[in-house]
Amino acid sequence: MKKSSFPAKILLFGEYGILINSSGLSIPHNIYKGTLKIHSEFNKDILYSNYEIGKFYNFLFEKKNKFQQN
């Protein structure tokens, strides 16, 4: 798998508007980067991280549903 690097972005304005598909302005910031790593072996730290990401996803999903209902 090709190693991809994703530059950080600085949101100049529109931070909350982006959450509801509105416009915003961001610029890439190449000093900080993130990568997606897929491990073939799992350990306690990886499983805990996946669990926390899942909790955050569920939180955002519930908030989205509540926002759309109002």
Pick the residue with more confidence: 64 or 17? 64
Tokens of 13: 């304005």
Q: How far is CA 67 from the centre of its chain?
A: 19
| pTM beyond cutoff 0.85 | no
Kindly report the backbone phi and psi dihedral angles of residue 10, in degrees, each rounded to the nearest multiple of 5, phi listed first: -105, 120
- 56 pLDDT band, cuts 50/70/90, is very high
Question: Is the predicted pLDDT of residue 45 greater than 80, yes or no?
Answer: yes
Q: What percent of the chain has pLDDT over 70?
A: 86
As a whole number of angstroms, the distance between CA 50 and CA 44 comes to: 10
Where are the domains positioned within the chain?
Answer: 1-38, 39-70
pLDDT for 58 equals 93
Q: List the Cα angle 53/55/57 in 5-degree steps.
A: 70
